[in-house]
């Protein structure tokens, strides 16, 4: 028998003697998804530090020899942030959400590529369709990750060569190969009895990992990890746990339930206790109505609400038009328009207003978002603006006639960016 150190299979971990649980849930997470899609387009960049971000500027320049000249991170100037990065770039300390200017200090020679969401969405559809051919019960969690219920997939419960997990391992390998065949990309898969453990496990052996984790494996594989590795424990909860002397999942599991209830309340305390012990009864949900749809943009430079209204106006209108287009494409109308502003000191304010009727009309969204704008302080420069539609209802959403005071045609008489003080 091969030792774990010489096992040729990609990062497979399991307790071979574990009994099969009632449920078998997989979490499939694409490896550095956006960056990996770009490397399909530019295979010469394989193994190099590559950063994706900064909008659609800095596209590669074609060279006479058929190659491409790529921008370097050190040459970037602006307010953009990293969308994702290759593993080689991450090893240099850069990560998603980091400002590109800050990242340039850490990795000045990293290649900088613009985002191409059309390509990412296309590959997302391809990998999900490939998975559905094998296991159709899928919960879509975003462009690059899904949960899959393998409980009733034929062969998943078959033992192979005396290994009770041999069948589900084979299914996991089939899923990975199907994704590779459909997209040319690798993914990492965690298979466990529930969604919480599977989400955590898919990250244990990245990239190109297949992790099988059963309840008997929790003390050895999970309890030594930081508590923050549990999806749902954010920075604030992590600080509160650390104040109690709890830093690892194992320490959280050992904490008295009464202590957690006293510190975090009934709901959060019980959840933390259950999560540390690997308990999660949530089903795989094949359809979930969105709560809201939004659009926002970060400016290249801080803009003043009054001094830069000629610049802000078209941006504001375009966001409303894009939001209306998103609503139409996804088949929703809404009744609650929201506004989001981030100031130059990074404070965020939000406002919302309920409409008298359902709509997805761009002019109406612009009108009501403008009314939200009248209720916020406009004495500082802005870094970001966003608009949102909530209280969504599925349907074609032919808007009802607007009341006279809400007539969208009145927008024509408004300034490009109406910053007058509210009455």
Q: Which of 255, 249, 258, 247 is nearest to 276 (CA)?
A: 249
Give me the helix-helix angle, 309-330 and 362-373, nearest 10°: 130
Q: Which of 32-46, 103-117, 126-140, 382-396 is predicted most confidently?
A: 126-140
Confidence label for 417 from pLDDT (cuts 50, 70 and 90): low
CATH annotation of 225-277: 1.10.150.20
pLDDT exceeds 80 at position 266: yes
Give the whole-angstrom CA distance, residue 55 versus residue 97: 13
Residue 397: predicted pLDDT: 53
Residue 399: predicted pLDDT: 43
CA 48-185-166 angle, to 5 degrees, is 120
Contact at 8 Å (CB) between 47 and 58?
no
Annotated catalytic, 296?
A: no
- Which residues, at least 6 apart from 11, have a Cβ–Cβ distance to it below 8 Å? 205, 208, 209, 210, 211
Contact at 8 Å (CB) between 388 and 294?
yes
Give the whole-angstrom CA distance, residue 100 versus residue 54: 7
pLDDT exceeds 50 at position 421: no
Cβ atoms within 10 Å of 2's Cβ, excluding its own: 8
Hey, is 113 helix, strand or coil? strand
Structure token pair of residue 115: 């985002």
pLDDT exceeds 50 at position 18: no
Residue 418: predicted pLDDT: 55
pLDDT exceeds 90 at position 306: no
- Which residues, at least 6 apart from 141, have a Cβ–Cβ distance to it below 8 Å? 147
How does pLDDT run across 181-229, given as a tens digit for each residue? 999 999 999 999 999 999 999 999 999 999 999 999 999 999 999 999 9
Return residue ranges of the chain for CATH 3.30.1490.100.
Answer: 292-413
Which residue bears the tokens 């069948």? 167
Return residue ranges of the chain for CATH 1.10.150.20.
Answer: 225-277
Cα 199 to Cα 56, 83, 208, distances in angstroms: 31, 21, 15
Return residue ranges of the chain for CATH 3.40.1170.60.
Answer: 37-115
pLDDT exceeds 90 at position 162: no
- Which residues, at least 6 apart from 338, have a Cβ–Cβ distance to it below 8 Å? 292, 294, 350, 351, 352, 353, 369, 372, 387, 388, 389, 390
Confidence label for 124 from pLDDT (cuts 50, 70 and 90): very high
Share of the chain above pLDDT 90, in %: 66
How does pLDDT run across 292-304, given as a tens digit for each residue? 999 998 887 889 9
Residue 227: predicted pLDDT: 96
pTM (whole model) above 0.75: no
How does pLDDT run across 44-76, given as a tens digit for each residue? 999 999 999 876 555 566 555 455 678 899 888
Q: What does residue 114 show for φ and ψ, rounded to 5 degrees?
A: -75, 160
| CA end-to-end span of the chain | 79
Burial 320-347 (b: 16+ CB within 10 A, else e): bbbbbeebeeeebbbbebbbbbbbeeee
Topology of domain 37-115, per CATH? MutS, DNA mismatch repair protein, domain I (3.40.1170)
Choice between 130 and 401, residue whose per-residue pLDDT is larger: 130
pLDDT exceeds 80 at position 363: yes
Question: Active-site residue among 38, 145, 251, 364?
Answer: 145
Give the whole-angstrom CA distance, residue 175 versus residue 148: 10
Residue 67: predicted pLDDT: 53
Over residues 347-357, the mean pLDDT reads 92
Tell me yes or no: is domain 292-413 CATH 1.10.10.10. Answer: no
């Amino acid at each position: 028998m091969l030792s774990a150190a010489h096992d040729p299979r990609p990062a497979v971990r399991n307790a071979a003697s574990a009994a099969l649980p009632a449920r078998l849930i997989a979490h499939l997470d694409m490896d550095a998804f956006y960056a990996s899609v770009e490397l399909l387009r530019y295979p010469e960049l394989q193994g190099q530090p590559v950063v994706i971000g900064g909008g659609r500027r800095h596209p590669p320049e074609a060279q006479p020899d058929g190659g491409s000249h790529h921008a370097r991170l050190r040459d970037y100037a602006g307010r953009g942030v990293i969308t994702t990065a290759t593993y080689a770039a991450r090893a240099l300390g850069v990560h998603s959400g980091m400002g590109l200017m800050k990242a340039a200090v850490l990795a000045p020679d990293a290649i900088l590529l613009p985002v191409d969401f059309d390509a990412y969405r296309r590959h997302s559809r391809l990998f999900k369709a490939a998975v559905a051919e094998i296991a159709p019960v899928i919960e879509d969690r975003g462009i690059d990750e899904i949960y899959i219920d393998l409980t009733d997939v034929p062969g998943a419960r078959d033992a192979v060569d005396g290994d009770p997990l041999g069948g589900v391992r084979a299914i996991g390998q089939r899923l990975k190969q199907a994704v590779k065949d459909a997209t040319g990309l690798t993914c990492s898969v965690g298979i466990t009895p529930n969604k919480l453990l599977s989400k955590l496990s898919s990250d244990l052996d990245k990239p190109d990992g297949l992790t099988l984790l059963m309840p008997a494996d929790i003390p050895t594989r999970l309890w030594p990890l930081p508590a923050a590795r549990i999806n749902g424990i954010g920075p604030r909860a992590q600080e509160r746990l650390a104040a109690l002397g709890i830093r690892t999942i194992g320490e959280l599991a050992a904490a008295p339930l009464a202590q957690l209830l006293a510190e975090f309340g009934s709901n959060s305390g019980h959840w933390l206790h259950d999560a540390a012990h690997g308990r999660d009864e949530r089903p795989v949900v094949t359809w979930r109505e969105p709560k809201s749809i939004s659009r926002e943009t970060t400016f290249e430079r801080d803009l003043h609400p009054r001094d830069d209204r000629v610049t802000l106006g078209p941006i504001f209108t375009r966001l409303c038009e894009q939001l209306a287009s998103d609503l139409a494409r996804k088949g929703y109308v809404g009744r609650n328009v929201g506004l989001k502003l981030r100031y130059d000191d990074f404070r965020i304010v939000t406002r919302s207003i309920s409409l008298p009727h359902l709509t997805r009309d761009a002019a109406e969204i612009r009108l009501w978002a403008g009314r939200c704008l009248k209720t916020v302080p406009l004495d500082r420069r802005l870094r970001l603006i966003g608009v949102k539609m909530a209280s969504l209802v599925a349907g074609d959403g032919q808007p009802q006639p607007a009341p006279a005071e809400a007539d969208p045609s009145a927008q024509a008489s408004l300034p490009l960016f109406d910053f007058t003080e509210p009455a």
